[in-house]
Structure 1
Amino acid sequence: MKQETILLLEDETTIREVLSEYILMADYNVVAVANGDAAVNWLENNDCALAVLDIMVPKRSGLEVLAWIHEHKPETAVIMLSALEDEATQLSAFNAYADDYVVKPVPPILLLKRIETILRRIKQPTQTEVVITERLVIKPEAYDVLVDGNSAGLTLSEFLLLHELVKNPGRALTREELITAIYQDEYFGSDRVIDSHVKNLRKKLPFNCIKTVVGIGYQYVPPKDD
């Protein structure tokens, strides 16, 4: 068995059983629960590499579980799973630090590809840390960014977006290019998800080093040392 454990929150019995079976066949461990309280109760005493959360579930919603994960276990990657395909709901999930959003019904094999894509990024070879300023350091080997020596608490998608921009200083990258860098052609939603990630990054970084380039996308502008 692979070491990675996947937490699956899905209240529909048939969907939960089918997805669990596919995840197991892919050699992952899977913990399947039917309501948000059960998900949080399990997470309080256990860890998982990735959580797949349906939004519309009993007790705590998937979005509430997402918020709990972000506060207590931000290193856990999260894929939101929902029949709600409107842009507002998807953006609210990304604004709450989801790594991906999959609309139901979804072929189990496609969900597995999304899971594998995220976990593959986590296991990529280590790289040398990037010192942006004395206050801000990117640590690719840990998929983390340090602000004044402390973790900035970035999601995986936020980290990959910032890292891609930093690798291309002074160049304006389109939203499509950034989506490819983050999701590796496995994302089919609105490109406005990039706007949500940038908004969250600007909240977490001690200075704004991401410039909006109207009509194109975003550009990394090296900050000046204090």
Structure 2
Amino acid sequence: MNPKVLIVEDDANLVELLTYNFQKEGFDTIQTEDGEEALMLALEQDPDIIILDWMIANLSGIEVCRRLRRDPQTANLPVIMLTARTDEADRIRGLDTGADDYITKPFSPRELIARVHAVLRRLRPAIANSTLAYADIEMDLGAHKVLRGGDRVPLGPTEFRLLRHFLEHPGRVFSREQLLDNVWGRDVYVEQRTVDVHIRRLRKAINEGGKPDLIRTVRSAGYALDEAGKVD
């Protein structure tokens, strides 16, 4: 599965340049020049990282970043801000709002992509590794094997895919609809309550032997892989 980048930028030439370079590096790309649409796409398309220009239509990049951080479903989504502003105060403001990195224009696409890889290695190491881990859970993608505390955890195919998705996005809350799209696929019709059934099966498997619950249920929002596995 290719990592997905959402490019929020109103300079058409720059968008074309970035799209070409990201796709060349193996990324899937989504583009918008509108701040309101960026928030919608962040929820609907589940990108791995957002490239966010400071000055865009309808909402500023700063406000988009602020709203992303307030929403439990996007609070942990990596964001790199782009801006022509070079003042240190502006850079600090962008980082204080919740951006994970900040790059000033003009810049080379190679530099931006290197920054993206650095952020993803830090915040989403699953993208670069064949082994996923969180707390005392380990998933070997090559061997299709899951361990918890060193003990083998038998999982069905759907529970394996569901756990993999959570391990790739630790701490992030996903709605039932998002889980259906990302785990079952957009072209497959499955009722939302099916997600609850497989969450229960996953919980039972990974919590075998009285281990702490790592699946957090968020009322009216969905589920997350979180060491504070509880109902919010």
TM-score, normalisation: structure 2:
0.53
Q: Is the 8 A contact 1:128 1:141 kept in 2?
A: no
* Aligned equivalent of 1:97: 98
- 1:123 aligns to 2:125 (yes or no): yes
State the shift of 1:41 in Å.
2.3
* TM-superposition CA deviations, 1:6-45 (whole Å, max 9, x none): 0000101101110111011111011011121221222232
Distance in 2, matches of 1:41 and 1:7, equals 11
Q: Which runs of 5+ in 2 are unaligned?
A: 137-166, 172-213, 217-232
Q: Is the 8 A contact 2:48 2:77 kept in 1?
A: yes
The residue type equivalent to 2:29 in the other structure is: V
Distance in 1, matches of 2:168 and 2:30, equals 28
- 1:24 aligns to 2:26 (yes or no): no
The residue type equivalent to 1:97 in the other structure is: G
Report how many residues are paired: 138
Gap change, CA 1:110 and 1:69, over 3 Å in 2: same
Q: Which runs of 5+ in 1 are unaligned?
A: 131-139, 152-226
Aligned structure 1 segments of 4 or more residues deviating by more than 4 angstroms: 124-130, 140-144
Distance in 2, matches of 1:129 and 1:16, equals 38
* Aligned equivalent of 2:188: none
Give the % identical residues: 26
Gap change, CA 1:83 and 1:43, over 3 Å in 2: same
Distance in 2, matches of 1:127 and 1:99, equals 22
* Aligned equivalent of 1:114: 115
Q: Is the 8 A contact 1:129 1:141 kept in 2?
A: no
The residue type equivalent to 1:35 in the other structure is: D
Q: Is the 8 A contact 2:134 2:170 kept in 1?
A: no
- Mark the structure with the bigger radius of gyration: 2
* TM-superposition CA deviations, 1:89-142 (whole Å, max 9, x none): 111111111100001111001100001111122216667859xxxxxxxxx997
Instruction: Give the CA RMSD over aligned residues.
Output: 2.6
What's the secondary structure of 1:6's corresponding residue? strand
Q: What is the correspondence of 1:1-226 to structure 2 with a 5 Å cutoff?
A: 2-72=1-71, 73-121=74-122, 122-123=124-125, 129=135
Gap change, CA 1:33 and 1:118, over 3 Å in 2: same
Q: Is the 8 A contact 1:20 1:30 kept in 2?
A: yes
* TM-superposition CA deviations, 1:39-77 (whole Å, max 9, x none): 122223221110010001111111111012111211210
Distance in 2, matches of 1:42 and 1:107, equals 26
TM-score, normalisation: structure 1:
0.55
Distance in 2, matches of 1:142 and 1:7, equals 16
Distance in 2, matches of 1:49 and 1:128, equals 18
Distance in 1, matches of 2:111 and 2:170, equals 25
Distance in 2, matches of 1:8 and 1:116, equals 15
Q: Is the 8 A contact 2:81 2:103 kept in 1?
A: yes
* Aligned equivalent of 2:177: none
